[in-house]
Amino acid sequence: MKKTLILQAPAKINICLWVKEKRSDGYHEIASLMQTLTLSDTITLQDCRTEGIHIECDDPAVPKGAENLVHKAACLILERFNIPPSIIIRIEKRIPIAAGLAGGSTDAAAVMAGMVRMYEKMLPMVELMTLSQKIGSDVPFVMHGGLAIASGRGENLSFHEPPKPSFFVVIAVPKKVSVSTKWAYENYAPGENSRKEELFNKIFPCYKKRDIESLKNLVFNDLESVTLQRYPEVQEIKETLLEDGNGVVLMSGSGPSVFGLFEDRSSAVKAASRLNQEKVNV
């Protein structure tokens, strides 16, 4: 058994998020194109002599108890292999909390995959991803990483090679704003738009071709109708990043994070420089 293991847990963005009808299990049916980023948290797993699951984090806002998704992730692996709990999980946060970037989900995914390695157990990735659905809809995707089209409640995934070269990405999150995913979905009212399926089907081919101009007119996030109404500062960030018209700009997930996709580094840097960093984390 490995005594210590250090892992990276990447953030993700929704390049498109189509929210459909509410299902009988309480979740919404969705369709989304998702991509993981180089922005990541660092997770350290360490065996210890003290019984229990001990969570440490450099961000005081992160819960240290059973309500943390990494605690649930650790319990799943310990129960799956009948291992007594005696582990320290250290989280170095770089992904903003409650920002629509899957920060909690990706930490949980890293813990699950890492514990399988740490305890030198055998569990195929497909089985691990299936097990991870018990934690949350985003967990299987961030566990695998890359680029995928998601359907169902987010657990049905079709993976693809990301475009090359990759886009330059700006992530902007308004300070002092956090959004509950549950709140956003509960307050979402589906509207009538007969073109959504047509738009969604065009997004992936354009993304693969790095067709910025077409993507500008195609991408959408249905949860913007909820979050932007409650938090106008998110709309302000979008408008600032869109000023030069060089990028594709959208809110990710339930927000409040906003991302911009740019073809070149200079355009990304210029767009980011216009943001008021007293109010926005970039």
Calculate mean pLDDT across residues 156-178: 93
Residue 206 confidence (pLDDT): 96
At 191 the pLDDT is 73
- Confidence at residue 30, expressed as pLDDT on a 0 to 100 scale: 94
What average pLDDT does range 70-81 have in this prediction? Answer: 97
Average pLDDT over residues 126-131: 95
Beta-carbon neighbour count of residue 67 at 10 Å?
8
Total-model pTM: 0.92
* pLDDT tens digits along 216-257: 999 999 999 999 999 999 999 999 999 988 899 999 999 999
Residue 70's pLDDT is 97
CB 253 within 8 A of CB 154: no
Could you tell me the pLDDT band of residue 192, with boundaries at 50, 70 and 90? Answer: low
CA distances from 260 to 119, 240, 276 (A): 40, 10, 16
Domains within the chain, CATH numbers bracketed: 4-160 (3.30.230.10), 168-281 (3.30.70.890)
Helices (H), the chain: 69-81, 103-118, 125-132, 139-144, 181-186, 196-208, 212-216, 224-230, 232-241, 265-273
Q: What percent of the chain has pLDDT over 70?
A: 99
Give catalytic status of residue 59 as yes or no: no
At position 32, the amino acid (one-letter code) is S
Structure tokens at 8: 């990276």
Q: In Å, what is the CA distance from 220 to each residue of 53, 178, 206, 256? A: 40, 21, 14, 15
Closest residue by Cα to residue 9 from 131, 129, 117, 94: 94
pLDDT band at 47 (very low <50, low <70, confident <90, very high): very high
pLDDT for 27 beyond 80? yes
Beta bridge partners of 45: 5, 89
Candidates 41, 72, 107, 138; catalytic one = 138
Question: Residue 107: its pLDDT value, please?
Answer: 98
Tell me which of 44 and 190 has the higher pLDDT. Answer: 44
Residues 7-24 pLDDT 10s: 999 999 999 999 998 888
Categorize the per-residue pLDDT at 55 as very low, low, confident or very high, splitting at 50, 70 and 90.
very high
- Average pLDDT of span 81-96: 96
Q: Is 138 a catalytic residue?
A: yes
Q: Read off the pLDDT of each residue in 142-152 and give the average, rounded to a whole number.
A: 97
For 29-40, what is each residue's pLDDT tens digit? Answer: 999 999 999 999
